[in-house]
A = this chain, B = another copy of it.
């Protein structure tokens, strides 16, 4: 809003639809290996291990480890959970599935909205995804980022304050000149606590048709918009 120079975006769920993308990539893998599991359920199971894996880094139990590696560990754990021995599957095949997170599709409004926002603001991801993941995703999907920032650059996972504060510092900006755009109230609360502006864009099917969380803003965020097009309108970007 007034004073924001940079818009930083949560990515998984806010910019891209991870559940459909992972399910699409998992489906042929599951079929090939005779794993009788709904691909969307497989995506959910993989994603359920996401926060606990990062928590080991946040707590200092393990050094900063990029998300591609955490995703890979989590994938092997999920395969074991469904009775599949990952060691019996060719390495390359697991690598390809692991990089499903590099090939997620954006929500329909994302690319056009970002292009408009880019005319007035620095736009960059502030994601827990690693640089290669976010870069390959952007290249494939046409996300017009000005830079790839986030956990790997800050060496800290959200919602640790370092993830937000180091990103502002790297940009040479005070936190008040940075605004986080996210579909997750918890992420926005952490950003606000660091002095960032906040913009909430609900993504009502991120977790599928029965989603029960993050359907509405939980606080009075600086901006609440239906999608990135409305966000661009609200922030005064030309159509």
A residues neighboring B (CB under 8 Å): 68, 122, 130-132, 135-136, 138-139, 145-149, 152-153, 170-173
Contact partner of A131 (CB less than 8 A), chosen from B68, B145, B147, B152, is: B147
- In the complex, the answer to whether A170 meets B139 with C-beta atoms within 8 Å is no
Q: Which residues of B contact A135 (CB under 8 A)?
A: 122, 146-147, 171
Overall SS of chain A's interface: helix
Tallying the copies of this chain within the complex gives: 2
Q: Assuming A68-B172, A171-B131, is B152 touching A146 (CB within 8 A)?
A: no
Contact partner of A148 (CB less than 8 A), chosen from B68, B138, B148, is: B148
25 contacts between A and B (CB under 8 A): A68-B172, A122-B135, A122-B139, A130-B170, A131-B147, A131-B149, A131-B153, A131-B170, A131-B171, A132-B170, A132-B171, A132-B172, A132-B173, A135-B146, A135-B147, A135-B171, A136-B172, A138-B146, A139-B146, A145-B147, A146-B148, A147-B147, A147-B148, A148-B148, A152-B170
